């Protein structure tokens, strides 16, 4: 396990519920089109929400067809370490085929979270990476780093809701 990182106490039942909610979020928070203009608006939405969370954040939006970073912003109180973690969250999401905490939830369902953090910082299976889908295609990934206790996921959800005019469900489980 990566030093200093531990999974919250998450029961298999709570992890299943969170996973179902995550699937619903991914299903309803989709774009009809996602290009540079949409990336800029989504990135600016995350930035504009950061004061509500009490501190700054780092954000990247990466186009998945070619790995190009479409948007990047780092608050004055964040740095390269946050970008490293955001990229690790993106890698974990891409590997799992779902938003960042998917592998963490899978491990909790299986009852063994002992190895979930072994690949940090290359893969960070935590809240803070979310697939931007156009239809069924994973077009881009928004990745955020800077908060704890699932708030990286929450700021992404709020920004997507704002941009898409859709409200997404939330889970009530301790997911990191």
Q: What is the CATH number of the domain that holds 160?
A: 3.30.450.150
- Average the pLDDT over 158-172 and give the result: 95
pTM: 0.93
Give the dihedral sign, CA 73/56/116/11.
negative
The parent domain of residue 96 ranges over 27-164
Q: Quick one: pLDDT at residue 4?
A: 47
pLDDT over threshold 50, residue 3:
no
Question: What does pLDDT average to over the chain?
Answer: 92
**Which of 115, 58, 106, 114 is CA-nearest to residue 85?**
58
Q: Quick one: pLDDT at residue 175?
A: 74
The share of the chain scoring above pLDDT 70, in percent, equals 94
Q: Is 20 within a domain? A: no
> Is residue 133 a contact partner of residue 30, using CB atoms and an 8 Å limit?
yes
CA distance 92 to 130: 10
Q: Is 12 within a domain? A: no
* Number of domains present in the structure of the chain: 1
């Amino acid at each position: 396990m990566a030093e200093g990182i531990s999974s919250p106490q998450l029961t298999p039942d709570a992890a299943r519920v969170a996973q179902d909610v995550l699937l619903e979020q991914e299903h309803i928070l989709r774009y009809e089109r996602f290009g540079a203009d949409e990336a800029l608006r989504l990135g600016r939405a995350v930035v504009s929400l950061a004061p509500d969370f009490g501190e700054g954040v780092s954000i990247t939006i990466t186009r998945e067809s070619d790995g190009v970073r479409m948007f990047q912003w780092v608050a004055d109180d964040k740095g390269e370490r946050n970008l490293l973690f955001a990229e690790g969250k993106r890698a974990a999401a891409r590997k799992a085929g779902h938003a960042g905490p998917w592998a963490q939830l899978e491990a909790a369902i299986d009852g063994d979270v002992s190895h979930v953090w072994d690949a940090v910082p290359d893969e960070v299976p935590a809240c803070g990476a979310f697939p931007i889908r156009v239809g069924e295609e994973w077009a881009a990934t928004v990745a955020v780093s800077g908060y704890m206790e699932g708030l990286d996921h929450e700021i992404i959800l709020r920004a997507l809701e704002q941009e898409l005019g859709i409200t997404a469900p939330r889970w009530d489980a301790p997911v990191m």
